[in-house]
Amino acid sequence: MISRALSARSRGIANIILNRLNAPLHIANKLASVRALQKFARQGVITMKVLVVGGGGREHALCWKLKRSASVSEVICAPGNPGIAREARCIAVAAEDIDGLMQLAREEQPALVVVGPEAPLVKGLADRLRSEGFAVYGPDQAAAELEGNKAFSKALMAEAGVPTARFETHTDADAAEACIRAWGAPIVVKASGLAAGKGVIVAQSVEEAVNAARDMLSGNAFGAAGAQVVIEECLVGEEASCLFIVSGDTILPLDSSQDHKALLDGDKGPNTGGMGAYSPAPCVTPEIADTVLETIARPIIAALKARGIEFIGTLYAGVMLTGDGPKTLEFNVRFGDPECQPLMSRLRSDLGEVLLAAAEKRPHGITLDWDPRPALCVVVASDGYPGSFEKGQRIGGLDAVEAAGTTVFHAGTAEKDGAIVNAGGRVLGVTALADSVADARRTVYRALEQLDWPGGFYRTDIGYRAIAREEA
């Protein structure tokens, strides 16, 4: 755990702390020791253990970057996946098992806990961890309602004056239908609760929207997540992802990115959790980035603060770049997936230091250093996604895909009889860094020719908007 030569006094103090952590002490004493270790870490004396919660592509990217951070000695991930196991020690505790994760944290005593997915945040994992003195990167339950409850989020946007689409919220199917017929199509219907990125229907006809709203409100489509629906006008423009590291009043923008949510080439087909992404997004000019910061990010964080809610973690603003300026499509309270994959590929800063500083509310002076080259990620999904699909299919050729110049982030994989198999809808995020978006895309698609998985599919046009700009 010691990262560099220490003075005799420093070695003595560090050894005392380490011995205390190995002894059967009261939890308060152990936490005091962890805080002391964090102080040494900030001084560059020792490195820290980090616990990452989650087991998807986003968490693989975070573990991959944390392992390469000088401030980090060990990465633990719960539950992880076979790809993450190459970067971290994986422990089979589910991301939504709050009690199990609390017990794991008590046993492992990480200096920092990074909560990847939205579900444990909405369930209050960060609150529980902070109540026992752990440094946590991820918002409390009240702040996580920004993603967990779209009706709450839209109401807070209206209260804060954040630009967004006109909307109504409904729990009654007849009232929702009346709104849809009055507004006409195209129109957007959203399940208010968490629906794994699939609870948004961009309906091209009134009947499609009415059927979607009734399916949601009946519980057929998304269960309890659809007990309340948000009806929105359909915004027109180019969509972008603007993420921020937030620590109290300090808001630190990450570089821009752009997701491809539709299933098929040309942005056709149903919405998914994301079929690919790249960073930076050329459509987000410095002027637009500043506008998003000042008119969207700052006002929503201020509105939460006015309600007594402090935000610590990642604020994700999905924005539509309309003719009237950026308007908010949604807020998430974690790194995007698959946006996290190209972002982590480009980040040069020590991720452990950045996230610990944010968790401990001392972010002043921190800057983010980015590789100027773009990165692009193509998601390989199970055939049938976002509907039903067969699990347990063997996936071959992964080493050859990486040998062709990419990093393969695992999202929905498992290990069976010594082989990697698909265990989810979105399974792999094949990512490359190159001198241009076109070069990055070329590298990824050439590498994917080595993939041996007949049951997988992917879009063939990821990055097409940026490439058109490059060619122009």
Q: Report how far residue 451's alpha carbon sits from residue 183's, in angstroms, rounded to the nearest whole number.
A: 46
Handedness of CA 404, 408, 412, 413 (dihedral sign): positive
Peptide bond into 79 cis (omega under 30): yes
User: Which residues contact residue 274 at a Cβ distance below 8 angstroms, ignoring those fewer than 6 apart?
Assistant: 197, 259, 260, 261, 336, 337, 338, 339, 379, 426
SS3 string, 74-140, reads: EEEEEECCCCHHHCCEECCCCCCCHHHHHHHHHHHCCCEEEECCHHHHHCCHHHHHHHCCCCEECCC
Average pLDDT, the chain: 90
Q: How far is CA 47 from CA 3, 29, 350, in A?
A: 6, 20, 12
For residue 197, the model assigns a pLDDT of 67
Whether pLDDT at 143 is above 60? yes
Q: If you average pLDDT over residues 61-78, what whole number do you get?
A: 98
Q: What is the pLDDT of residues 291-303, one digit of tens each?
A: 999 999 999 999 9
Q: If you average pLDDT over residues 344-357, what whole number do you get?
A: 97
CB neighbours of residue 377 within 10 Å: 36
For residue 364, the model assigns a pLDDT of 84
Q: What is the pTM of this model?
A: 0.89
Among the ranges given (21-25, 35-39, 244-248, 261-265), the one the predictor scored with the smallest mean pLDDT: 21-25
Among the ranges given (102-116, 201-215, 384-398), the one the predictor scored with the smallest mean pLDDT: 201-215
Whether pLDDT at 4 is above 50? no
Question: How many Cα atoms within 13 Å fall on the side-chain side of residue 60?
Answer: 26
Q: If you average pLDDT over residues 129-143, what whole number do you get?
A: 98
Q: Report how far residue 151's alpha carbon sits from residue 21's, in angstroms, rounded to the nearest whole number.
A: 45
Whether pLDDT at 11 is above 50? no
SS3 string, 352-415, reads: HHHHHHHHCCCCCCCCCCECCCCEEEEEEEECCCCCCCCCCCECECHHHHHHCCCEEEECCEEE
Whether pLDDT at 437 is above 80? yes
Identify the three-state secondary structure at position 284: coil
For residue 303, the model assigns a pLDDT of 98
Q: Which residue has the higher pLDDT, 62 or 11?
A: 62
Q: If you average pLDDT over residues 57-73, what whole number do you get?
A: 98
Q: How far is CA 211 from CA 183, 202, 387, 447, 449, in A?
A: 15, 12, 17, 41, 40
Question: How many Cα atoms within 13 Å fall on the side-chain side of residue 201?
Answer: 25
Nearest to 374 by CA among 291, 314, 444, 297: 444
Backbone angles phi, psi at 449, to 5 degrees: -65, -20
458: Cα separation from own chain's centroid: 20
For residue 2, the model assigns a pLDDT of 31
Backbone angles phi, psi at 312, to 5 degrees: -130, 115
For residue 35, the model assigns a pLDDT of 52
CB neighbours of residue 365 within 10 Å: 7
DSSP state of 311: -
Backbone angles phi, psi at 415, to 5 degrees: -110, 130
Residue type present at position 197: G
Confidence of residue 31 (pLDDT cuts 50, 70, 90): low
Among the ranges given (196-200, 299-303, 383-387), the one the predictor scored with the smallest mean pLDDT: 196-200
- Domains present along the chain, CATH in parentheses: 8-140 (3.40.50.20), 166-233 (3.30.1490.20), 238-471 (3.30.470.20)
Whether pLDDT at 196 is above 80? no
